Amino acid sequence: MILAFQPAEETGEGAARLCADPLLATRHIDNVYAFHNLPGFAQHQIVVRPSTFACASTGVAIRLHGKTSHAAYPERGVSPANAMSDVMRMLTQLPDAYPSTFSLVTLVHAQLGDPAFGVAPGEATVMATLRSDDNATFHAMQTRLVDHVNAIADRAKLTVDLSWHEPFIAAENSTAHNQTVVNAAQSLGLEVHWLKEPMRWSEDVAEFLARWPGALFGIGSGEYHPQLHNPDYDFPDAILATAKALFCRVITHHHGR
């Protein structure tokens, strides 16, 4: 059994680096289990889902470069204003191309030039977050985005820099391992809640699940517990005993075979 401390979860980099470390990469791993506390669910309730438990996501920064000019002579420059609008519209419409899966693009930041009335802008930045519950759709969204951004920039005679940030693949559970969690929870008398849809947020334990079979599950923090990432959020220590008991029961299940 390996119990690993894994840093850098919030940036999507920690699990991939840990998986690449020789101390772990050279070991034979049979099963992977992990839990996440979940506000909004009854405390100690076990939250499960076969297949995709949490979505893939990534941040993208799109920087459009034209030519700055005096506001009195905008024709002497190359403004990215119209292209910026086209990029933002394209981003919000991107999920429409994938109606059979869940996908979402959230605009998180946009800036055109500087706040100066005498200057016609030559630079623009648009930042967004992409999400999907399907890894194939997620990668297709990224490819389509790059193609559309390049086409928009070409039409406007702009150059473009595009960068990806905080990447996560979807956390995909093994059906058998998910059922093991359910059986362990029921044997402990814990209530089990089956999710109808994946969590929209991302979790980088997905990197482990892409390499070895396993399951990510949730433990309820309380129906009225402050939500994740809220400034008043505090981890509910009371659920640690539940997590310990459940993990011990799962270990007993595998060693009993």
pLDDT at 7: 74
Residue type at 66?
Answer: G
Alpha helices in 94-239 (DSSP H): 135-155, 175-187, 206-211
DSSP state of 158: -
Q: How far is CA 45 from CA 72, 139, 193, 196, 229, in A?
A: 64, 33, 7, 16, 20
Q: What is the pLDDT of residue 20?
A: 84
Q: Token digits for 127? A: 């930042």
Residue 198: CB partners within 8 Å, gap ≥ 6?
49, 52, 53, 54, 55, 102, 133, 170
- The rounded distance, in Å, linking the Cα atoms of 31 and 26 is 15
Q: What is the structure's pLDDT at 122?
A: 98
Non-local (6+) Cβ contacts of 16 within 8 A are 204, 207
What pLDDT, on a 0 to 100 scale, did the predictor assign at position 257?
A: 57
Residue 11: the pLDDT is 74
Give the pLDDT of residue 64: 98
Question: Which residue ranges in the chain fall short of pLDDT 70?
Answer: 1, 256-257
Cα separation, 96 vs 57, whole angstroms: 17
